[in-house]
Amino acid sequence: MTAPSPSPAAVHLVGGGPAGLMAAETLAAAGRPVVLHDAMPSVGRKFLLAGKGGLNLTHSEPRPGFDTRYGEAAAALAPWLDAFPPQALCDWAAGLGVDTFVGSSGRVFPAEMKAAPLLRAWVQRLRQQGVVFRMRERWLGFERPAPAPSSDAAEPAQAPPPLRLRFAGPQGESTVPAAACLLALGGASWSRLGSDGAWVAPLAQAGVPIAPLRPANVGFHVGWAGQAAGWSAPLRARQAGAPLKPVRLRMVGPDGTVFDRAGEFVLSDYGVEGSLIYAAGAALREQIAATGACTVHLDLLPAFSLDKVRADIAHPRGPRSLATHLKSRLGLEGAKAALLQEVLHRGLPDTPEQRPDPADAAALATLLKAWPLRLVAPRPIDEAISTAGGVRLDTLSPGLMLPPGPALPAGVFVAGEMLDWEAPTGGYLLQACFASGRYAAQGLLRWLHHTGA
């Protein structure tokens, strides 16, 4: 009689966002028992919030253009996207009964523009696959091994400690031994939904290199040298929330790269926010960190050439006011007209030379084609849509395992927004989170196979 083969050891997953849930699905589908812990009473809270904005799941932009949205991290992310490309994400959603469509901007959304139906169907399927959900269990770190007794002999290199995860739960603290674990703890924004970045301390203590967490896809404060206030009171009162579209934003980044793109954003009480600002956000943030401010130039009339704008402004306007003249000839109104007023009547921007004489058509045209917007600080990280920084990608094994060390057990894998990559909005964030969850779980399965666990 042959002995029954032992059931495979359970994998412990921490973090039930898109990355963790996708990892759970991959592991369970491979026949591994999976226990998923999350500090919150339910999983996917940020995913549900993303659903309030329509749930932009991914983008229809073909690869390799798609990959370039991840900037410097693009090469490191390519294998994740190979493992779970955008089309696979759409097919996967369809498998959960959620059809997707491509919006006019190329962004991909579920037909219902909501996250709840997808999450509900997904969690139900995971339960059927045997995934055990342990809610209200906060991961605190790894159990630290007792220090070895000292001896006079030369110390051998310290072996990694056994993998034991510490949790704080409703019943107090507990320690869980695991064959392997996968952390998908998210970034550090919207902390009330669970992603609070508190994982940085225990991982740093274990010797994991972590790039500082910074806000990404977030608004920026405007400010002008020598002036306490940002926008003038009239602009804040009348234009906060007003869209600025279409507009073109140009800047030279700290490394000399030129950002020059058309799009839209909104004026806010404190400054500016919205997709075009988010797209330029990484360069804006780094420039501000380096020099304290970043001036970008806005083409408020991107549909018209400088010559056309100049000629239209110079066209005789009779008794009409300048504002009426610009509106009728160039369609300049609303938030765009308010920006002109900021310069002409409220003493912006910084230097008097930049303030044109309203009678000087050439100077006015130059201002409308290159309005100097000075940004001085990003909004706080807790407000951000996503987080830059995190576990450094160059420290990870090709399967996304952390390198074991004296304070770091072997068999710890990581996925999702807690890794050091960033991308603009447009579906690129969720796509990378899903794909990294799939890819890290595949790496974990290979590692278990090799170690025989």
Ligand X SMILES: Cc1cc2nc3c(=O)[nH]c(=O)nc-3n(C[C@H](O)[C@H](O)[C@H](O)COP(=O)(O)OP(=O)(O)OC[C@H]3O[C@@H](n4cnc5c(N)ncnc54)[C@H](O)[C@@H]3O)c2cc1C
CB of 246 to ligand X, least distance (A): 22
Q: Candidates 10, 11, 13, 18: give the one binding ligand X (CB under 6 A).
A: 18
Backbone conformation region of residue 119, classed left if phi is above 0, alpha if psi is from -120 to 50, else beta: alpha
Count of residues that interact with ligand X, criterion CB under 6 A? 39
CB of residue 267 vs ligand X: minimum separation in angstroms?
A: 19
Distance CA 366, CA 306 (A): 7
Residues 418-447 that bind ligand X (CB under 6 A): 427, 429-430, 433
β-sheet bridge partners, residue 258: 252
Residue 400: closest CA among 346, 442, 452: 442
Among residues 113, 120, 106, 104, the alpha carbon closest in space to that of 58 is found at 106
Q: Which of 12, 25, 28, 46 binds ligand X (CB under 6 A)?
A: 46
Q: Which stretch binds ligand X (CB under 6 A): 27-35, 65-73, 185-193, 391-399?
A: 185-193
Pair 105, 279: CB distance under 8 Å: no
Distance CA 359, CA 209 (A): 58
Determine the interface stretch with ligand X among 10-18, 172-180, 390-398, 444-452 (rule: CB under 6 A).
10-18
Binding test (CB under 6 A) with ligand X, winner from 11, 12, 13, 16: 16
Considering only 10, 11, 39, 123, the residue that binds ligand X (CB under 6 A) is 39
- C-alpha closest to that of 272 among 295, 302, 306: 295
386, 422, 435, 440: which one binds ligand X (CB under 6 A): 386
With CB under 6 A as the contact rule, the residue among 198, 289, 322, 376 that binds ligand X is 198
Take residue 87 and report the two structure tokens written for it: 């089309």
Nearer to ligand X, 62 or 156 (CB): 62
Select the span of 153-161, 193-201, 205-213, 313-321 touching ligand X (CB under 6 A): 193-201
**One-letter amino acid for residue 79 of the chain:** P
Positions in 138-177 near ligand X (CB under 6 A)? 138-139
At closest approach, how far in Å is the CB of 64 from ligand X? 19
**Burial, 68: exposed, middle or buried (Cβ in 10 Å; 0-12, 13-18, 19+)?**
exposed
Interface with ligand X, residue 390, by CB under 6 A: no
| 37 contacts ligand X (rule: CB under 6 A) | yes
Length reported for the chain? 453
Residues from 56 through 75 that contact ligand X (CB under 6 A): 56
Please, is 449 exposed, middle or buried when counting C-beta atoms within 10 Å of its C-beta (0-12, 13-18, 19+)? exposed
Structure token digits, residue 399: 């399967």
| Nearest distance, CB of residue 423 and ligand X, angstroms | 8
412 binding ligand X? (CB under 6 A) = no
User: 49, 322, 363, 407: which one contacts ligand X (CB under 6 A)?
Assistant: 49
For the beta carbon of residue 345, count every other beta carbon within 10 angstroms.
Answer: 12
Cβ pair 398, 53 in contact under 8 A: no
Using CB under 6 A as the binding rule, the residues of this chain from 86 to 145 that contact ligand X are 138-139
Decide: is 47 part of the binding site for ligand X (CB under 6 A).
yes
* Binding of ligand X by 25 (CB under 6 A): no
Q: Using a CB cutoff of 8 Å and minimum separation of 24, what contacts does 347-355 make?
A: 347/227, 348/224, 348/227, 348/232, 349/224, 349/374, 350/224, 350/225, 350/226, 350/374
Q: Interface with ligand X by CB under 6 A: which residues?
A: 14-20, 37-40, 43, 45-47, 49-50, 53, 55-56, 138-139, 184-186, 189-190, 194-195, 198-199, 385-386, 416-417, 427, 429-430, 433
